[in-house]
Amino acid sequence: MDMRPDSRSLPDLSVRELRTLLDRREIGAVELARAYLDRIGEVDGRVRAYLTVTAELALEQAEEADRRLASGEAGALEGIPMALKDLISTRGIETTCGSRILRGYVPPYDATAYARLREAGAVLLGKLNMDEFAMGSSTENSAFAATANPWDLSTVPGGSSGGSAAAVAAGEAAFTLGSDTGGSVRQPAALCGVVGLKPTYGRVSRYGLIAFASSLDQIGPLTRTVEDCALVMNAISGLDPHDSTSSPVEVPDLTTALRDDLQGVRVGVPEEYFGEGLEPGVERAVREAIERLRALGAELVEVSLPSTKYALATYYIIAPAEASSNLARYDGVRYGYRSPDGEDLVENYLATREQGFGPEVKRRIMLGTYALSAGYYEAYYVKAQKVRTIVKSEFDRAFERCDLIATPTSPTVAFELGSRLDDPLAMYLSDTYTIPASMAGIPAISVPCGFSDGLPVGLQLIGRAFDEATILGAAHAYERSTDWARRRPELVSAG
């Protein structure tokens, strides 16, 4: 009897399951790439996760993968179809950062994270939608389209890596890379019901990542399962001579940290993360998930992170300040969009930036420029950096009492498309639980932990610097004890 899987079902499998099928030669890499391209053609008109689909390249890379699989020289991710957030540089492929100002920009080099995935044998399906320059929590700030949440097409997928999360949830890629500055991997992972990890700052090279806030940005994976997340992290982590902020700390094989129970693990629970603004359905799901951690053998410990309430305001001084500096390079001279307007160079600069940047990017540039200006630098930027130090020190003290910290990832489930576009503060509050770990530069993962009003809820596990192993191990134990990771939206079967 032929037990080969139906090609239509292949995009619903995990990376580990797909590699097993490829290794056994039960499927081929070209067949697998075609299955994903078919899925993209079937559903992406409604999800709008992709800005660019690289079908021809994907099939070429898949043919190479089949040859290596046949010769026994396969990499760890050989033949696995993936996609990248459109701020990760790809040589010869347009990289827009979700902005008109970079429309038509084709990088002359590959980002290190992408280069390492290619070395591991992964196959590129395309580039994914995002909030412009990673500034947003809903992927509605893209200059090209608003991505929809596969669980409910009338709601947002989160942001700024909304295209990356939606693509995994809809089976349009086996895994994706996003970037996380204040929660932009974890929050969309929670809203789309997938796994999303923000690594320790410096664990993954930022070379080739188009910068938003350089002291905060980190590339991270979005996957169906925690094991898949560990596999991708193994491939992309480690020191890079092209990035002076990448760390020489040794990278262990993170798949060896995956465990089935939590005996001997102390889990901190900060009450500051269970206050005003947390939807009752989200709190219920997260509290039940924390109790499941206890049932798996964990010891629950109360910890306090009192400066959590200041983290959001602090972030919206530091991140825009860095953005105002980083985005000064987009003037229409060297690359990207250039306005035809203006009688002299200064007028042309102004016209290019006025026409090329969207409203949220302009808002943050103005906030950052104000915070760095004479007379306000000490009052805002310097003070914010002091608060950032306090936030980090509070995490350090908490980790004296526990091995990881459990919190909600997002205070709400996915909200309606358009519902917060006229209320920037409400949008910013979407990241209230993810920003503190970003400020401290420590790793954090979001793993599916239930549903509220039919929409996914995420549990966030935060760990010590460079201790991705502990949070991945705990997340894996939790995931194996539930069936949340096996749930799929009805998008595909709905036709």
Helix (H, G, I), strand (E, B) or coil at 108: coil
User: Checking phi first, is residue 127 left (phi over 0); if not, alpha (psi -120 to 50) or beta?
Assistant: beta
Pairing of β 218-223 and β 195-198: antiparallel
Q: Which amino acid is at 134?
A: A
Taking the CA atoms of residue 132, residue 105, residue 197 and residue 314 in that order, the dihedral angle to the nearest 10 degrees is -40
pLDDT averaged per 10 residues in sequence order, the chain, 495 residues: 72 97 97 98 98 98 98 96 98 98 96 98 98 97 97 98 98 98 98 98 98 97 98 98 97 97 98 94 98 98 96 96 95 87 90 94 96 92 96 98 98 97 90 97 98 98 98 98 94 55
What positions carry a catalytic annotation?
85, 160, 184
Domains of the chain listed by start with CATH number: 9-306+393-494 (3.90.1300.10)
Three-point CA angle 232, 237, 239, nearest 5°: 165
The reported pLDDT for the residue numbered 55 is: 98
Nearest to 18 by CA among 276, 224, 297, 258: 224
Could you give the C-alpha distances from 283 to 155, 159, 212, 408, 432, in angstroms and in order?
20, 21, 31, 7, 14
The reported pLDDT for the residue numbered 3 is: 58
Could you give the C-alpha distances from 43 to 8, 37, 246, 486, in angstroms and in order?
13, 10, 37, 20
Q: Check: CB of residue 162 under 8 Å from CB of residue 179.
A: no
The reported pLDDT for the residue numbered 306 is: 96
Chain centroid to CA 132: 14
Give me the residues paired with residue 198 across strands: 444
Taking the CA atoms of residue 452, residue 458, residue 459 and residue 460 in that order, the dihedral angle to the nearest 10 degrees is -150
Nearest to 84 by CA among 180, 203, 190, 219: 219
Helix (H, G, I), strand (E, B) or coil at 54: coil
Please report how many Cα atoms fall inside a 13 Å half-sphere around the Cα of residue 356, on the Cβ side.
Answer: 28
Crossing angle of helices 359-372 and 308-326, in 10° steps, is 100
Contacts of 356 (CB under 8 A, 6+ apart): 99, 100, 101, 330, 332, 336, 337, 339
CA 53/CA 51 separation, integer angstroms? 7
The first and second tokens of residue 62, run together, are 């898949």
Q: Check: CB of residue 162 under 8 Å from CB of residue 139.
A: yes
Tell me the torsion sign for CA atoms 151, 434, 141, 143: negative
Quick count: other Cβ atoms within 10 Å of Cβ 71? Answer: 8
Q: Check: CB of residue 302 under 8 Å from CB of residue 268.
A: yes
Phi first, then psi: what are they for 185, rounded to 5°? -100, -45
